[in-house]
Amino acid sequence: MCSKPLNNVLQSLYEIKATMRNATNASVISRLDEAIFLLEHSLDDLRKESKGRQLALEAIGALLEKLPAIIAIVQLLTGDPKK
């Protein structure tokens, strides 16, 4: 997943902000805050997307586990003797 490099960048931004807090004007701090905000939200979106994919894979897995039983029921209801 690409979130590890983004987490590293976010951590670097936190460290830069901490070291520059007293030595830099307010506009630089404001720009750092904006970059941190955007990166945090991007990471949140990635986590949500990843969670959605995980849930979809779990649903597909559950369906595949039950597929033989579903086929047997359909065959029983349609009178198809194939097994």
pLDDT in tens, 37-60: 999 998 888 888 888 888 888 888
pLDDT at 25: 75
Residue 1 near residue 46 (C-beta atoms within 8 A): yes
pLDDT for residue 23 is more than 80: no
Domain boundaries, the chain: 3-78
| Global pTM value | 0.61
For residue 83, name the pLDDT band (cuts at 50, 70, 90). low
The gap from C-alpha 66 to its chain's centroid, in whole angstroms, comes to 27
Tokens 């065959």 belong to 75
